[in-house]
A and B are shown apart, each in its own frame.
Chain A
Amino acid sequence: MELFALSAAEMVRGIKEKDFSASEVFASCLSRIEALEPELSALLALTAGRGREEAARVDGMIARGGEPGPLAGVPVVLKDNMCLRGVPATCASRILEGWIPPYDAKAAELLAGAGAVFAGKANMDEFAMGSSTEFSAFHPTSNPWDTGRVPGGSSGGSAAAVAAGYVPLALGSDTGGSIRQPASYCGLYGLKPTYGLVSRWGLVAFASSLDQIGPFARTVEDLALLLSVIAAPDARDGTCSRRERPDYTAPLAASSLRGKRIAVVKELDAMRSSVDSEVRRVLENTLNLCRDEGAEIVEVSLPVSLEFGLPCYYILAPAEASSNLARFDGVRYGLSRREDSLLDLYFSTRGAGFGAEVKRRILTGTYVLSSGYYDAYYLTAQKVRSLMKAEFRKAFGRCDLIALPTAPTPAFKKSELVDDPVRMYLADVFTLPVNLAELPALSLNGGFTGGEKPLPVGVQFIAPQWGEPELLNAAAVLERRLGKAPIAPLGAAAEGGNSR
Chain B
Amino acid sequence: MTSRYIPVIGLEIHVQLSTATKIFCPCSTDYIGAEPNTNVCPVCLGLPGSLPVLNKKAVELGVRAGLALSCTIRNHTVFHRKNYFYPDLPKAYQISQYDLPLAEGGEIYIPGDDGRPRRIRITRLHLEEDAGKLVHSAADGRLEGAAFSFVDYNRGGVPLAEIVSEPDITSPGEAREYVARIRQTVRYLGVSDGDMERGSLRVDANVSVKKTDAATGEVLCWGERTEIKNMNSLRAVERALEYEIRRQTAVLAEGGTLERETRHWNDGEGVTTSMRSKEAANDYRYFPDPDIPPIVVTEELLESTRNSLPELPWAKERRFGEEYGLPEADAAFMAESLPVALYFEECVKSGASPLRAANWIRTEVFRVMNEKGFSMDSFPVKPSALAELVSMVDGGKLSTTVAREVFAHLAGGRSLKDALAAAGASPGGLSAEDVEKMVEKVLTVNGDVVEEIRSGRDPKGKKIKFLAGLVMRDARGQADAAAVSGILERRLKEGR
Contacts and interface: CB of A to CB of B under 8 A. Distances in A.
On whether A and B touch (CB less than 8 Å), the answer reads yes
Interface of A: 82-83, 89, 91, 96, 99, 101-103, 105, 200-205, 207-209, 235-239, 319-320, 323, 326-329, 331-333, 342, 346, 366, 369-371, 374, 378
B50 to A, nearest CB: 8
B285 A370 contact: yes
Nearest to B52: A238
Given A235-B53, A323-B287, A378-B287, A204 B85 contact: no
B83 interface: yes
B48 A327 contact: yes
Contacts of A333: 47
Nearest to A196: B293
Contact of B287 (A101, A102, A239, A369): A369
Given A200-B51, A374-B285, A327 B81 contact: no
Contact of B291 (A239, A371, A378): A239
A448 to B, nearest CB: 37
Contact of B54 (A208, A237, A238): A238
B127 to A, nearest CB: 15
18 contacts: A82-B49, A103-B47, A200-B49, A205-B48, A208-B290, A237-B51, A238-B291, A238-B292, A239-B290, A320-B287, A323-B285, A326-B92, A327-B46, A327-B91, A369-B287, A370-B283, A370-B285, A371-B283
A331 B287 contact: no
A209 B92 CA distance: 19
B18 to A, nearest CB: 23
Most chain-A CB neighbours within 10 Å: which of B52, B54, B92?
B92
A329 B85 contact: yes
Nearest to B149: A342
Nearest to B87: A331
Contacts, number: 95
Contact of A323 (B81, B151, B283, B292): B81
B90 interface: yes
Interface in B256-307: 283, 285-287, 290-293
Contact of B42 (A102, A319, A320, A326): A102
Contacts of B290: 207-209, 239, 320
B80 to A, nearest CB: 11
Contact of B92 (A82, A101, A329): A329
A89 B48 CA distance: 10
A354 to B, nearest CB: 14
Interface in B1-50: 42, 45-50
Contacts of A327: 46, 48, 90-92
B87 A319 contact: no
B379 interface: no
A238 B83 contact: no
Given A323-B287, A342-B87, A202 B93 contact: no
Contacts of A235: 53
Nearest to A341: B147
A83 B48 contact: yes
Nearest to A342: B87
A96 B47 CA distance: 11
A102 B286 CA distance: 30
A434 to B, nearest CB: 17
Contacts of B46: 327, 332
A101 B48 contact: yes
A204 B91 contact: no
Given A103-B42, A332-B90, 10 more contacts: A99-B48, A101-B47, A202-B49, A207-B290, A209-B290, A238-B52, A323-B92, A327-B46, A370-B285, A374-B286
B294 to A, nearest CB: 11
A237 B293 CA distance: 11
Contact of B51 (A82, A101, A201, A320): A201
B380 to A, nearest CB: 45
Interface string B390-421: 00000000000000000000000000000000
B287 A326 contact: no
Contacts of A370: 283, 285
A309 B495 CA distance: 117
A209 B290 CA distance: 5
Contacts of B291: 205, 208, 237-239
A96 B85 CA distance: 19
A207 B93 CA distance: 15
A326 B83 CA distance: 8
Contacts of A237: 51, 53, 291
Nearest to B53: A238
Which A-B residue pairs are the 3 nearest by beta carbons? A326-B92, A209-B290, A369-B285
Nearest to B148: A342
A201 B49 contact: yes
A237 B43 CA distance: 11
Contact of B48 (A96, A236, A238): A96
Interface in B50-85: 50-54, 81, 83, 85
A331 B93 CA distance: 15
B285 A236 contact: no
